[in-house]
Structure 1
Amino acid sequence: MEFFATHFAFLSSPEGWAAMVTLIAMEIVLGIDNLIFISILTNKLPAEHRARARRLGISAALIMRLILLATIAYIVGMTAPVFTAFGHAFSWRDLILIAGGLFLVWKATKEIHHTVDPVDHEDSTVGQAINISLGGAIFQILLLDLVFSVDSIITAVGMTDHLAIMYIAVIVAITVMMVAATPLANFIEKNPTIVMLALGFLLMIGMTLIADGFGFHVPKGYIYAAMGFSALVEGLNMLARRRR
């Protein structure tokens, strides 16, 4: 009883519930980026490996976030400057965001090129998909899981001091990702134009991570507003095509 009284005291106050609901919503929104990447990457695999790769990728995201929460003092220290260059003090968080952003930009650009000019890759597409089935695909998912996990946990630390709220928010957000992964991946696969839109999202997210790493913070609201508007326009295009 003493454990619950100490760690779950926030449940007795409206402010605690408000903080938990807000953080859950924020973690779910932050998970969209991760989920889009996982959906696009796993759709390139043979059909029999896709569900397993998605489960492994999302489970790894949960494990990474829980491990990072367990080392919360170290994670907070990752925002401390490590060195200064170009007039900006870089921390380990900045370096991780820049590396992840560069990877996302490279990956999105590569996939856009494959989509726009598939003739150059006809012979290698099938072999490439099989080769990355449980090796390269899982490695790439784990790499981006790490980047998004660090950003997610640091955001959580900035929003609340209650460790229990952080754990609850992370677990709920990952559960939502697990439920939404297959429907989202199927929707992307059945609507080819959505693939290009999703790749555009990844490109924008990658550039945002790089900018954030260099100290140019772009408010998340602007990013998600742009994504929402683009999705609305694409939805209208899909409706128009079906009506025709």
Structure 2
Amino acid sequence: MPIIEFLTPYFAFVNDPTAWVALLTLVVLEVVLGIDNLIFISILTNKLPKEQQARARRLGISAALIMRLVLLATISFIVQLTAPIFTLFGHGFSWRDLILIAGGLFLVWKATKEIHHTVDPEDHKDSMVGAVSMTLGAAIFQILLLDLVFSIDSIITAVGMTDEIAIMYIAVIVAVTVMMLAATPLANFIAKNPTIVMLALGFLLMIGMTLIADGMGYHVPKGYIYAAMGFSALVEGLNMLARKRKKPASTDGH
């Protein structure tokens, strides 16, 4: 009974229809924001030996869930990260801005390096999807590093939508669970379709530039980004369908 009495204030929102709308909206938002991270995880873990890939995705996403829950527990500190710490070129930079810029630079560097290795077949020394050269620990470390950037951004977004900490916890758990379920199918799809790899790397490059712009004070609406990603994915899907239909025709010709 003491446990129930302790938890009751946190779940008082169950009788509030507005809170349920906020929960549903936040779950959808967290899932959509997780797409960026999921693409990176899929490409990164595909570099590992086949027997380690699924394990790396599970460990990386599970650790990411724990990190997000810990960050939610320190939400009062996270909110303070938006306070400016210095001003440069007329823009007040906060810790959040610096974290977004650092994460964006990391993504741009990773995506650019892999695009270079994909375009240049003579150079596969350190690609994310070329020769297997990454350790399990290195992959998980990079997953956590980038997830820290996305986590802080999504938590600050959540704070702007609701004051209920329980809603934030539920949204994060649901979103990460969806990521866990979708990680392996997405990674397998990317691995089987080389053209999708380049498209995904282009997405990462765009997301990295968006993070940098956001950190510099130039906010790009997420709707534009996901609309561009969706349109590109649709065009590539049509190309894949066209190539698939051409194969039987060429076979019949022989």
Alignment: residue pair count: 242
The farther-off stretch of 63-72 and 112-121 is 112-121
In structure 2, how many angstroms separate the alpha carbons of the residues matched to 1:59 and 1:37? 15
Write the letter of the residue equivalent to 1:66. Answer: L
- The alpha-carbon deviation at position 13 of structure 1 amounts to 1.8
Q: Does residue 67 of structure 2 align to residue 99 of structure 1?
A: no
The farther-off stretch of 1-10 and 157-166 is 1-10
In structure 1, how many angstroms separate the alpha carbons of the residues matched to 2:217 and 2:80? 17
Q: Does residue 82 of structure 2 align to residue 82 of structure 1?
A: no
Task: Identify, as 1 or 2, the structure richer in helix.
Answer: 1
In structure 2, how many angstroms separate the alpha carbons of the residues matched to 1:242 and 1:108? 28
Corresponding residue number in structure 2 for 1:47? 50
Q: Which among 108, 114, 124 is matched to residue 111 of structure 1? A: 114
In structure 2, how many angstroms separate the alpha carbons of the residues matched to 1:47 and 1:85? 47
Runs of 4+ in 1 over 4 A off after TM superposition: 123-126, 128-131
Corresponding residue number in structure 2 for 1:30? 33
CA contact 1:53–1:138 (8 Å) conserved in 2 = yes
Offset from partner CA, 1:190-220 (integer Å, 9 cap, x none): 1110000000000000000000000000011
Corresponding residue number in structure 1 for 2:5? 2
CA contact 2:117–2:127 (8 Å) conserved in 1 = no
CA contact 2:126–2:133 (8 Å) conserved in 1 = no
What is the SS of the residue equivalent to 1:82?
A: strand
TM-score normalised over the length of structure 2: 0.92
CA contact 1:93–1:150 (8 Å) conserved in 2 = yes
In structure 1, how many angstroms separate the alpha carbons of the residues matched to 2:121 and 2:160? 44
CA contact 2:30–2:175 (8 Å) conserved in 1 = yes
Corresponding residue number in structure 1 for 2:251? none
User: What is the root-mean-square deviation of aligned Cα atoms in Å?
Assistant: 1.5
- The alpha-carbon deviation at position 152 of structure 1 amounts to 1.2
In structure 2, how many angstroms separate the alpha carbons of the residues matched to 1:13 and 1:236? 44
In structure 2, stretches of 5+ residues that fail to align are: 247-254
TM-score normalised over the length of structure 1: 0.95
Corresponding residue number in structure 1 for 2:205? 203
Q: Which among 149, 152, 166 is matched to residue 151 of structure 2? A: 149
What is the SS of the residue equivalent to 1:118?
A: coil
The farther-off stretch of 56-65 and 178-187 is 56-65
In structure 1, stretches of 5+ residues that fail to align are: none
Offset from partner CA, 1:155-177 (integer Å, 9 cap, x none): 11111110000000000000000
Corresponding residue number in structure 2 for 1:163? 165
CA contact 1:46–1:129 (8 Å) conserved in 2 = no
Write the letter of the residue equivalent to 2:85. Answer: V
The farther-off stretch of 181-190 and 135-144 is 135-144
Q: Which among 44, 65, 68 is matched to residue 65 of structure 1? A: 68
- The alpha-carbon deviation at position 56 of structure 1 amounts to 1.3
Q: Between Structure 1 and Structure 2, whose CA radius of gyration is higher?
A: 2
What is the SS of the residue equivalent to 1:84?
A: strand
